[in-house]
Amino acid sequence: MSGDSVIVVVGAGICGLSAARRLTAAHRSVVVLERGRSAGGRSTTREFAGGTFDTGAQFFTVRSEAFGRLADHWLESGVAYEWCRGFDQPPAAPDGYPRYAGRGGMVALARDLGSSLDIRFGRAVTAIDPDGVVSLDDRTGISSRAVVLTPPAPQSIALLDRGGLPLPSSARAALEAIVIEPALAVLARLEHPSAVPPPGGVQLQDGAFSFVADNQMKGVSSVPAVTLHATGHFSIQRWDEPDAALLAELLRSAKPWLGHEPIAAELVRWRYARPVVLEPRRCLVVDCEWGPLIFAGDAFGEARIEGATLSGWAAADAVLRRLG
């Protein structure tokens, strides 16, 4: 058990990092707990078969002035760049609206947000108890004065249930109303350039895929490497099938975009990928005897990277208001 109470942020995705950075800037003691080996959540980048792939989020857009200031910082510092202003193929058409990408991959955003933060990787939270103790998978615990939970709502609820921390019925109902679709993705490493048209992205409404990205054309990979995201409908209907069968079928559907057989391919599963029914508030606050418990993420307020960032900031502001 840690001796001093800290603010605990669960999850080192864009939302959690945004919250932690804002709290740290307010001179608060913050610990970020991340069960994985790297930051980013669904804004992640990985190496596979010699290629570099953005496996989740492919780009971000800017709609608010507040997020625009962060985007300007990323652009000016070289963390991000303008990828394109829409996609040429029907049914989509270029709309002149900038799509920005992380330089070297979308994980660049998380690396920038996480710089100087106390992030503890490989630390899976197993429960949160009625005294605000955050239990970890190594059977240790951290005594908290506030907790910001950024995992998908079902996972956050499970942490409280396992710790015996009761939720007000209204808060539980709001969290249970959130719906997040799963997504299947294919990473295909090619020997030769793909058949994806410039600027290296295809948005689709029919067929097995919702988005296809050429990571080489996008400027992420030095060699041909294509990420293909299956639609929510396909992912829901086929989720329980074996990886090998799903990969084979998706690769057959991907032939028009790949142009030739990949030299290596892999299936990636995102159990919680696309929020489709959101909680309208940017964060949900539950006041406990030991301090505030805040739920946040890209299913609060609005989706996408901008929504995750704004939710993280709202969560941090809620903590600061309550702690004084």
Q: Is residue 53 a part of any domain in this protein? A: no
Q: Same structural domain for residues 318 and 206?
A: no
Confidence of residue 265 (pLDDT cuts 50, 70, 90): very high
Over residues 203-219, mean pLDDT: 93
The whole-model pTM stands at: 0.94
Q: Same structural domain for residues 66 and 120?
A: yes
Task: Give me the number of domains the chain comprises.
Answer: 2
Is the per-residue pLDDT at 296 higher than 90?
yes
* CA dist., res. 61 & res. 101, Å (int): 9
Stretch among 60-69, 77-86, 200-209, 211-220 having the lowest mean pLDDT: 200-209
Q: Same structural domain for residues 207 and 71?
A: no
Q: Is residue 260 a part of any domain in this protein? A: yes
Q: Which of 236, 232, 203, 201 is nearest to 219 (CA)?
A: 201
Q: Same structural domain for residues 31 and 119?
A: yes
User: Helix (H, G, I), strand (E, B), or coil: what is residue 294?
Assistant: strand
Q: Same structural domain for residues 237 and 125?
A: no
Q: Is residue 294 a part of any domain in this protein? A: yes
* CA dist., res. 296 & res. 147, Å (int): 11
Per the structure, the complete domain to which residue 30 belongs is given by 6-44+60-83+104-178+278-323
Q: Same structural domain for residues 133 and 245?
A: no
Q: Same structural domain for residues 164 and 189?
A: no
* Helices 153-163 and 169-176, axial angle in degrees (round to 10): 140
Q: Same structural domain for residues 64 and 207?
A: no
* CA dist., res. 200 & res. 195, Å (int): 9
Q: Is residue 126 a part of any domain in this protein? A: yes
Over residues 224-233, mean pLDDT: 97
DSSP string, 45-102: EEEETTEEEE-S---B---SHHHHHHHHHHHHHTSEEEEES---STT----S--EEEE
Q: Same structural domain for residues 298 and 247?
A: no
Q: Is residue 91 a part of any domain in this protein? A: no
pLDDT tens across 103-123, in order? 999 999 999 999 999 999 999
pLDDT tens across 181-203, in order? 999 999 999 999 999 999 999 99
* Predicted local confidence at residue 88, as pLDDT: 67
CATH (domain of 246):
3.90.660.10
Over residues 272-287, mean pLDDT: 97
Is the per-residue pLDDT at 95 higher than 80?
no
First-residue to last-residue Cα distance in the chain: 25
CA distance readout (Å), 57 to 43, 70, 101, 135:
5, 18, 9, 30
Q: Same structural domain for residues 224 and 305?
A: no
Is the per-residue pLDDT at 97 higher than 80?
yes
Q: Is residue 125 a part of any domain in this protein? A: yes
pLDDT tens across 28-64, in order? 999 999 999 999 999 999 999 999 999 999 999 999 9
CATH (domain of 158):
3.50.50.60
pLDDT exceeding 70 applies to what percent of the chain?
96
Q: Same structural domain for residues 153 and 39?
A: yes
Q: Same structural domain for residues 25 and 166?
A: yes
